Chain A
Amino acid sequence: MRIEFDEPKCVAAGQCAMVAPGVFDQRDDDGVAIVLDATPGPERFDEVREAAAVCPAAAIRLVEA
């Protein structure tokens, strides 16, 4: 699985960092998301899929193998 993040779309909602804290964080100044791990391991697939689904800006796209 590879995470593609469309940064200009991000509205800094922080849902991703809440759902998958090891994979996403937020910048301190404006809250825009940071991808900590763009190729997470299988143990994280569920939470990453949840984060992509819940992102209110459709800024997280998953390319699944």
Chain B
Amino acid sequence: MNRIVVVGASAAGLAAAETLRREGFAGSLTLIGEEIDPPYDRPPLSKQILASTWDAERLALRTLDQLTALRLDLRLGARATGLDRQERTVRLSDGTDVPYDGLIVATGVRPCRLPGPGAHVLRTVKDALALRRTLRPGTRLAIVGAGFLGAECAAVARGLGCEVVLLEPAPVPLAHAVGERIGQVLSQAHRDHGVDLRTGVTVTGVTGAGVSIEDGEPVAADEVLVAIGSRPNTEWLESSGLTLDDGVVCDEYSAAAPEIYAAGDVARWHNPLFGVPMRIEHRTNAAEQGMAAARNLLNPAARKPFAPVPYFWSDQYDLKFHAYGYLRGHDVAEVVEGSLADRRFLAAYRKDDRVVGALAVGMPPKAIRPWRQAIALSTAWKDLR
């Protein structure tokens, strides 16, 4: 294998490129990224960047020296528009074709939008700086969607003195992800901090003066942030013959085809640890899967299944969430240490007869580690409770 092309120059693509070099790949390595900025980190966008406690320079994932050391053919500001698997080339927006022997797809996701003008979304550094400019004391901000992203932004905007109305279609925010009781703890945290949280509200569009509501009065706002989830960037693969189904469908090795792997937010792969296909939008998974994809592409004879315990964190007000495992679709969530009332707790999640997840707020790492271990070992619930 002489030529490897990585499409998507963010967390997953960078991890893949670095791993290829660390594993001794000496051939030509092309990293293609639509954004003009060198690889940067997204989680701080809704935290330190929005709060203005960091400058955008701090987002850089690597220094220029570190990037140079990778000996990349780095194509920033270039969008892949097509993939020809017969010719083994990636077509770019400027019409050039980049040939490959091995390909890693790491094109991530982009935010879903609502009809109507002028709303913000938050995915890129540009988005974050544009939103930040509008958040001043007294600005009335409507946030559509009370998932982790909407919730983090609500917390930061309150800290900046904005009036915040947070609109969520479900009766309890994040109930499907973390369970109803913990979702209620989150709701209470918002209300304690003066957020006008309205649940059971479906937003139908953005009006220029706020948002319109299904069967209800419109909500007035100076600025609107739409945080209702995202969609994988796979349009450029549509005529490639690869299987696409809310992401690039991969096997347990993260392979979409023998010479094509996918990693990060765009990849839907079969996680053998849980026995289900999953697509995960977590920062750590992007790096881990990028590394795994690179290794498997380089060493086809010694491929290893990618079977991680997913992990993410989220900062809201003074609460720091750490979540391990696959919480979605759990049967039971049970507080096993601490208490919800103190907002210092560890909850364990059960599906069928096994531990599939754990979520901790304000707990020491040593309390969390055994639960992570239990998830990694597919421990039976009855052996822990």
Chain A residues within CB distance 8 Å of chain B = 9, 11-15, 17, 26-31, 49-50, 53-58, 61
10 tightest A-B CB contacts, nearest first: A56-B283, A26-B365, A31-B365, A56-B284, A28-B364, A58-B61, A54-B287, A14-B365, A11-B313, A53-B18
Interface of B is mostly: helix
Q: How many A-B residue pairs lie within 8 Å, measured between CB atoms?
A: 53
Which residues of A sit under 8 angstroms from B320, Cβ to Cβ? Answer: 12, 30
Which residues of B sit under 8 angstroms from A15, Cβ to Cβ? Answer: 284, 311
A49 touches B22 (CB 8 A): yes
Which residues of A sit under 8 angstroms from B283, Cβ to Cβ? Answer: 56
Chain B residues within CB distance 8 Å of chain A = 11, 15, 18-19, 22, 41, 43, 58, 60-63, 283-284, 287-288, 291, 311, 313, 320, 322, 364-366, 368-369
Chain A residue at minimal CB-CB distance from B47: A11
A29 touches B364 (CB 8 A): yes
Separation of A9 and B260 alpha carbons in the complex (Å): 33
Contact A58 B62, CB 8 Å, known A13-B284, A15-B284, A28-B364:
yes
Contact A56 B43, CB 8 Å, known A11-B313, A12-B313:
yes
What is the distance, in angstroms, from B288's C-beta to the closest C-beta of chain A? 6
Q: Residue among B19, B41, B365 with the most chain A CB within 10 A? A: B365
Given contacts A28-B365, A56-B283, 19 further A-B contacts (CB under 8 A): A13-B322, A14-B368, A14-B369, A15-B284, A17-B365, A26-B365, A28-B366, A30-B320, A31-B364, A49-B22, A53-B19, A53-B22, A53-B287, A53-B291, A54-B15, A54-B287, A56-B43, A58-B41, A58-B61
What is the distance, in angstroms, from B24's C-beta to the closest C-beta of chain A? 13
Chain A residue at minimal CB-CB distance from B15: A53
